[in-house]
Amino acid sequence: MSDHHPASGLDDAVHQRVRLGVLAILAEVRDADFAYLRDALQVTDGNLSRHLQTLEQSGHVAVRKGFEGRRPRTWIAATDAGRQALETELGALRTLIDRVDRAGAGG
Amino acid sequence: MSDHHPASGLDDAVHQRVRLGVLAILAEVRDADFAYLRDALQVTDGNLSRHLQTLEQSGHVAVRKGFEGRRPRTWIAATDAGRQALETELGALRTLIDRVDRAGAGG
């Protein structure tokens, strides 16, 4: 048996922990500000910035800078491509989890 | 609302794509040889070697070298800690997937 395991279909662009978290949160709240994502994912400003830049470059999120009163804020939203990539990722993860569960090692 | 997202509980030691794949396969087949893992995960020898070394150093897998006839083979098995870490990872992923599904963006 040498079929490909579902893990081989995971795309690092979306699977990486922080980036997966960003896209999962943006599926819930649509538009999140930088501080919200940072606190929810418990990462540093620098770490989040780096991953948002990667997601923006790959077309998975759109970043919009604006003001709330005089306070500068950065808003992040998933693009259609980002939502689609999250669906693909979650589909591969579901398949992976089902296989482990069927093997009797699952909870 | 600033609760922590389940993605903040993912551990890169186990979440990383290739390492997650290795541990998921070892939940199915218990003892796998190097070539089987490489083909199932569609990675290069070097890439798999690097990730197996990481998993061995963190105590998640045990690597055993032996022979089948005259042919050298490398066998890999998950340790108890590796199986436990996989369960923790899959639990966090299930929670993440459920949240996205509840938000109505899930399949």
We report the CATH number of the domain holding residue B21 as 1.10.10.10
- Whether A31 is covered by a domain: the verdict is yes
List the single residue in B with minimal CA-CA distance to A93: B93
Candidate from A5-9, A20-24, B85-89 with smallest mean pLDDT? A5-9
- Whether B5 is covered by a domain: the verdict is no
| Alpha carbon distance, N-terminus to C-terminus of chain B | 26
Whole-model pTM above 0.95? no
**Could you read off the pLDDT of A51-93 as tens digits, one per residue?**
999 999 999 999 999 888 999 899 999 999 999 999 999 999 9
- Whether B30 is covered by a domain: the verdict is yes
Q: Which domain holds residue A31?
A: 10-106
Confirm if B64 and B33 have CB atoms less than 8 A apart: no
- Whether B4 is covered by a domain: the verdict is no
Question: What is the number of domains present in chain A?
Answer: 1
- Whether A3 is covered by a domain: the verdict is no
Region at A84 (left for phi over 0; alpha for psi -120 to 50; beta for the rest) = alpha
B59 closest CA partner among B85, B27, B33: B85
The reported pLDDT for the residue numbered A31 is 92
Q: How many Å is the maximal CA-CA distance in chain A?
A: 62
Question: Best mutation site among A11, A22, A87, A90 for testing chain B: the one with the most B CBs within 10 Å?
Answer: A90
List the single residue in A with minimal CA-CA distance to B91: A107
Name the band, by pLDDT with cuts 50, 70 and 90, for residue A30.
confident
Nearest Cα of chain B lies from the Cα of A51 at a distance, in angstroms, of 14
Judged against a pLDDT cut of 50, whether residue B1 lies above it is answered with no
Name the band, by pLDDT with cuts 50, 70 and 90, for residue A1.
very low
Those residues with Cβ within 8 angstroms of residue A51's Cβ, 6 or more apart along the chain or in another chain: A16, A18, A19, A22, A43
